Amino acid sequence: MSAFQDDGPLVQAEPLAGYRDPSLTPIIGPTMTFRTITEKISDIVLEMDTPKWWFGTMLVGLAFTVGLLFAVTVLFFKGIGIWGNNQPVGWAWDITNFVWWIGIGHAGTFISAILFLVKQEWRNSINRFAEAMTIFAVMCAGMFPVLHLGRPWLAYWLFPLPNTMGVWPQFKSPLVWDVFAVSTYFTLSLTYWYLGMVPDLGTLRDRAKKTFQQKLYGFMSLGWRGSSKHWARYETAYLLLAGLCTPLVLSVHSVVSLDFSVGIVPGWHSTIFPPYFVAGAIFSGFALVLTLIIPARRLFGIKELITQRHIDNMGKVMLATGLIVGYSYVEEAFLGLVYPGNKYEHFLIMNRMFGPYAPFYWTLVLCNVITPQFLWWRKIRNNTIVLFILTIVINIGMWLERFEIIAVSLTRDYLPSSWGYFKPTIFDMMTFAGTLGFFLSAMLLFLRGMPMIPMYEEKMLLPASDPHGHAEEGIFLEETEEI
């Protein structure tokens, strides 16, 4: 029995046409009904033939993933010396990529948990998409610290496991902090993502025609029947998980930033890092959500489910967090150059602006400070092609920001005798490109095999449903037959 009935009155939303302000645009298209929402989302998984562009894109993603496997295999045999890491740049592309990927994953938790708690209904169409992005981004991020250990097969030593040797993790080590922060973030995010799909997996089970699909989605739906008891327990668990996930938005990237704050390297020893990193994480995460959603809504024909209002709201969030990031840059430069204080900090800022890596610094300023200012204009936020390009530029800038903080800061320590230079090797590039390919392949599999938009949450947006998501006149819920 489906979680929702497929039939129902043809409830019309306000028309999309004629709205010059996207904030006034309905968050669901005028032709959407209870039946069409179910059909639109479930048919992508169950009925639609796999398009050619999907196979072509998957081939590209798998090709890069094979490059990752090759690079990791060589690393296992030869060690991390195949990377460009050196003295004094012990942390380079690997940790830069780790911080960048962790930041990418923050948008999913922000959209899912925080916007759910503050009852922002525009999140309903994009939360599952963003949650999937979070899961795959954290998987990509977790690769780099493990590979950086040198002996990755002993990574389990970082967990406080009982052992006969009495050796425990060094809890004063930032590496151990990362293990607890990232593993907690991944576990809760995965649980929250999967729990949110259970009602829709029950719908896919009931609509599936192939035996394999019926068994697969039947197993994954955990015996969901859509009874009032099921819904009551589901909503309670979902709310509790949202409350648990919300602090992670602030805590996880704050812990990652403290990896640097506890160090004495010029440019790292700063209390500005936790809020600076969190704002930058949400900034880059929303940018990647838009990078993925803009083509997906067009290719899968779901513009009435992910409307211009969603795009506009995400653009506004990017603008707000981009302003925080820009303010952090200004404050960091002010404290180093103008405010009387540490001469080493002064030299660090001058080195970033005019040293050997100066082009990277000014490029990140262009990407992260200048580019978001275009989002003040509604026409830019409405133009999906321009917005798509801006999101790619912003994520390039956010990667450069992490590179400037990590690798460039290490090239100029306190003593000139400790100075050095970092240059990536082909294996650095292959590893990073490989994680991009893995992420792309995982997202494509998710889009093809799972409902990318929550059907039950979309139905709550229709005028026939009340604010609590229950049906008027029994449209949503059905009596459950005795088993």
**Does position 154 have pLDDT exceeding 90, yes or no?**
no
pLDDT confidence band for 166 (50 / 70 / 90): confident
pLDDT tens, position by position, 61-108: 999 999 999 999 999 999 888 998 888 888 889 999 999 998 888 878
Q: What percent of the chain has pLDDT over 70?
A: 90
The sign one gets for the Cα dihedral 432, 105, 256, 189 is negative
Considering only 190-199, 393-402, 410-419, 427-436, which range has the smallest mean pLDDT? 410-419
Strand partners, 471: 465
CA distance 167 to 411: 34
**Does position 431 have pLDDT exceeding 70, yes or no?**
yes
CA distance 72 to 66: 10
pLDDT tens, position by position, 262-271: 888 888 887 8
293: enclosing H helix or E strand:
helix 273-299
CA distance 283 to 69: 30
pLDDT tens, position by position, 292-307: 999 988 888 888 888 8
Place of tokens 């403290």: 258
Which pLDDT does position 253 carry in this prediction? 81
CA distance 457 to 27: 12
Which pLDDT does position 219 carry in this prediction? 93
Count CB-CB contacts under 10 A for residue 444: 18
Strand partners, 465: 471
Residue ranges of domains in the chain: 22-157+172-474
**Torsion angle of C-alpha atoms 111, 115, 117, 118, degrees rounded to 10:** 170
pLDDT confidence band for 129 (50 / 70 / 90): confident
Tell me how many degrees the CA angle 423-392-187 measures, rounded to the nearest 5.
Answer: 85
pLDDT tens, position by position, 39-72: 888 888 888 888 899 999 999 999 999 999 999 9
**Torsion angle of C-alpha atoms 101, 106, 108, 111, degrees rounded to 10:** -160
Average pLDDT of span 228-244: 90
Residues in the chain: 483
pLDDT tens, position by position, 342-391: 788 888 888 889 989 999 999 999 999 999 999 999 889 888 899 999 99
Query: What CA–CA distances, in Å, run from 129 to 108, 109, 134, 160, 197?
Result: 8, 11, 9, 34, 11
Which pLDDT does position 444 carry in this prediction? 93
Which pLDDT does position 480 carry in this prediction? 34
Give the up-direction half-sphere exposure of residue 161: CA atoms within 13 A in the CB hemisphere: 8
Classified as helix, coil or strand, 212 is: helix
Q: Which residues contact 176 (CB under 8 A, 6 or more apart)?
A: 158, 169, 170
CA distance 113 to 127: 9
Which pLDDT does position 25 carry in this prediction? 65
Q: Which residues contact 228 (CB under 8 A, 6 or more apart)?
A: 477, 480
pLDDT confidence band for 482 (50 / 70 / 90): very low
- For residues 271 and 145, the model is more confident at 145
**Does position 185 have pLDDT exceeding 70, yes or no?**
yes
Contact 420, 411 (CB under 8 A): yes
CA distance 331 to 339: 10
Which pLDDT does position 59 carry in this prediction? 95
Q: Which two tokens stand for residue 336?
A: 């180093």
Farthest CA pair distance, the chain:
79
Residue of 333, 331, 401 whose CA lies nearest to 366:
401
**Does position 153 have pLDDT exceeding 70, yes or no?**
yes
Residue of 273, 253, 284, 409 whose CA lies nearest to 332:
273
Count CB-CB contacts under 10 A for residue 146: 16
pLDDT confidence band for 340 (50 / 70 / 90): low
What CATH number has the domain spanning 22-157+172-474?
A: 1.20.1630.10
The sign one gets for the Cα dihedral 384, 388, 389, 393 is positive
Cβ burial 459-472 (10 Å sphere, 16+ → b, else e) = bbbbebbeeeeebe
Average pLDDT of span 219-236: 90
Average pLDDT of span 28-41: 83
Contact 42, 35 (CB under 8 A): no
pLDDT confidence band for 466 (50 / 70 / 90): low
Place of tokens 């992670």: 248
**Does position 420 have pLDDT exceeding 90, yes or no?**
no
